[in-house]
C-alpha cells in the first residue's frame, strides 16, 4: 500500500497551502543564492541593457579595410589560410603583421605567410644582439637593411611602457629617444619604413587602484602604479615627442592612439605639430565608444592621420565589434568580456568619407611609400 509523505510541520494543511509554502521556500533559496550588491565584485558585474533601441550587427566592413595592427596570430601556413577566410568574410583587404622579429625568425615568418603576399605585410624588429656594445647601431642598421631586402615593409611594434625598449650591456634602459637609436630611425626614413611605436599605457594604469579609478578593471590588470622605477606617463609622452621631432623624415605610427584617448585635444595638437606622426585605433575601441561625440569629432578632423587596427586576435567577433563602433549609431551596449571595461558603449556613426580614409586610404598611402626591393 502506498504511503503518502507529508512535509515536516505541514500535516493537516491543504495541498494548496503546502504548494504555497514550497514556492515561498524556493524564492527564499533563490534570493539567498543571488549576490548581494554589498559583496558583488566589479569583475563579476555583467549588466544587461534594458533599452528598446536598435541593435545593429555589422559582419563586414562597409569599405575594404587594412588592419594596421596585428601580431603573429597565425603560426602555420594552414592557420594563415584560415585567417584569410576570416579576413574575406569581414572585408579586410590587407593585414599588417607586427612581428618584432629579425634574423632567421623573421625569415621563417616570411615563409609561413608567403602564399598570400598581397594579403599580409610583415614588419620586422630591431636587432638587439649587440645592445650596449659600440657596434650596436651599425649591426642593427645592417640587419634592418637585410630585413628590408627580405620583404619587411615597416618596423614594429616597438614597445616602451616606461621600462625602456630593452637594456644595454650596462643595464641602462634604452628609450626611443636614446641617441644610440638615432641611426636606426634615420635608416627607417631613408628606406621609407614606417615605425609602429607603443609608448606608455592607458592613463588609469598609473593611478591609484581604488574606487576613483575610471578604468579600474583594466587598470588593475595592466597596473603600472606599483612600479616606481619606470618612466611615468608624462615622461613617456615627452619621449615620444622628442623622438618624432628629432626624425622628421621618418614616419612614426603611435599605436593605440598614443594612449591619449582620454585627451584627444592633446593628441590633435601633436598631430598638428608633427606631420610625420600618425596613430592607429587598435585596442582602443572601448575607450572611443565611451565618449562617442568627442571621439567622432576627433576622427572626422584627423581621418587622414588615423588608421584602423585591431590588436585583438583574428576572430570574426573582433572585427565585428570594431565595425559596429565605427559605423553605427547604436547606444548603450557592452563588450565587457572583449574590452574589460564596465562602461556602456555607443557607436560613432562616422560618415562614409571618414570611414574610407580610416579603414583604407590613409594606410595605403603610407604603404605605397615603401618601395619593393
109-143: pLDDT as tens digits: 999 999 999 999 999 999 999 988 899 999 999 99
Burial bucket for residue 343 (CB in 10 Å: 0-12, 13-18, 19+)? middle
pLDDT tier at 171 (50, 70, 90 boundaries)? confident
The pLDDT, as a whole number, for residue 143 is 98
pTM exceeding 0.85: yes
Number of domains in the chain: 1
Is 249 among the domain residues? Answer: yes
Q: Are 124 and 144 in contact, with CB atoms under 8 Å apart? A: yes
SS3 of 253, please?
strand
The reported pLDDT for the residue numbered 38 is: 84
Whether 223 maps to a domain, the answer reads yes
Residue 16 placed within a domain: no
Mean per-residue pLDDT, 310-336:
96
Name the residue among 95, 161, 111 with its Cα closest to residue 367: 95
Inside any domain, residue 20:
no
Q: How many CB atoms within 10 Å of residue 132? A: 15
For residue 13, which phi and psi values (nearest 5 degrees)? -85, 155
The yes-or-no verdict on residue 7 having pLDDT over 60 is no
Cβ proximity of 214 and 204 under 8 Å = yes
Residue 3 falls inside a structural domain: no
Sign of CA dihedral 205, 208, 210, 211: negative
26-74 residue pLDDT tens: 555 555 456 678 888 888 889 999 999 999 999 999 999 999 999 999 9
Helix (H) or strand (E) holding 166: strand 166-167
The verdict on residue 231 lying in a domain is: yes
How many other β-carbons are positioned within 10 Å of the β-carbon of residue 16? 8
Q: Report the distance separating Cα 117 and Cα 160, nearest Å.
A: 30
- Does residue 58 contact residue 328 with C-beta atoms inside 8 Å? yes
Across the beta sheet with 155-160, the strand order is: 65-70, 92-101, 120-124, 155-160, 195-199, 252-254, 277-280, 306-307
Q: pLDDT averaged over the chain?
A: 91
Task: Note whether residue 308 is domain-resident.
Answer: yes
* Terminal-to-terminal C-alpha distance of the chain: 94
Distance CA 266, CA 211 (A): 26
User: Which CATH number goes with the domain that contains 322?
Assistant: 3.20.20.140
Query: Which DSSP symbol is given to 325?
Result: H
Domain contains 292: yes
> For residue 295, what are the domain limits?
65-368
Amino acid at each position: 500500500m502506498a504511503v503518502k509523505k507529508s512535509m515536516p510541520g505541514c500535516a493537516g494543511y491543504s495541498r494548496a497551502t503546502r504548494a504555497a509554502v514550497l514556492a515561498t521556500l524556493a524564492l527564499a533559496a533563490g534570493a539567498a543564492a543571488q549576490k548581494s550588491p554589498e559583496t558583488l565584485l566589479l569583475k563579476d558585474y555583467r549588466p544587461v541593457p534594458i533599452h528598446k533601441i536598435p541593435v545593429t550587427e555589422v559582419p563586414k566592413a562597409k569599405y575594404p579595410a587594412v588592419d594596421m595592427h596585428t601580431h603573429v596570430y597565425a603560426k602555420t601556413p594552414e592557420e594563415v589560410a584560415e585567417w584569410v577566410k576570416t579576413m574575406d568574410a569581414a572585408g579586410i583587404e590587407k593585414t599588417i603583421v607586427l612581428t618584432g622579429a629579425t634574423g632567421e625568425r623573421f625569415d621563417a615568418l616570411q615563409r609561413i605567410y608567403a602564399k598570400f603576399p598581397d594579403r599580409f605585410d610583415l614588419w620586422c624588429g630591431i636587432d638587439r644582439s649587440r645592445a650596449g656594445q659600440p657596434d650596436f647601431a651599425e649591426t642593427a642598421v645592417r640587419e634592418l637593411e637585410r630585413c628590408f631586402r627580405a620583404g619587411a615593409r615597416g618596423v614594429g611594434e616597438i614597445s616602451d611602457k616606461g621600462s625602456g625598449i630593452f637594456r644595454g650591456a650596462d643595464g641602462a634602459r634604452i628609450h626611443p629617444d636614446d641617441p644610440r637609436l638615432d641611426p636606426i630611425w634615420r635608416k627607417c626614413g631613408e628606406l621609407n619604413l614606417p615605425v609602429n611605436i607603443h609608448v606608455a599605457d592607458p592613463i588609469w594604469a598609473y593611478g591609484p587602484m581604488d574606487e576613483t579609478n575610471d578604468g579600474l578593471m583594466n587598470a588593475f590588470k595592466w597596473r603600472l602604479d606599483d612600479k616606481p622605477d619606470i618612466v611615468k606617463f608624462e615622461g613617456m609622452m615627452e619621449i615620444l615627442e622628442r623622438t618624432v621631432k628629432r626624425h622628421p623624415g621618418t614616419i612614426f605610427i603611435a599605436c593605440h592612439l598614443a594612449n591619449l584617448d582620454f585627451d584627444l585635444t592633446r593628441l590633435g595638437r601633436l598631430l598638428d605639430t608633427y606631420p610625420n606622426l600618425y596613430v592607429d585605433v587598435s585596442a582602443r575601441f572601448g575607450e572611443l565608444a565611451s565618449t562617442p561625440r568627442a571621439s567622432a569629432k576627433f576622427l572626422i578632423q584627423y581621418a587622414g592621420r588615423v588608421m584602423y587596427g585591431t590588436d585583438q586576435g583574428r576572430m570574426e567577433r573582433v572585427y565585428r565589434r570594431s565595425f559596429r563602433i565605427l559605423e553605427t549609431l547604436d547606444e548603450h551596449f557592452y563588450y565587457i568580456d572583449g574590452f574589460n571595461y564596465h562602461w556602456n558603449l555607443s557607436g560613432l556613426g562616422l560618415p562614409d568619407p571618414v570611414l574610407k580614409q580610416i579603414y583604407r586610404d590613409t594606410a595605403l598611402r603610407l604603404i605605397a611609400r615603401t618601395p619593393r626591393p
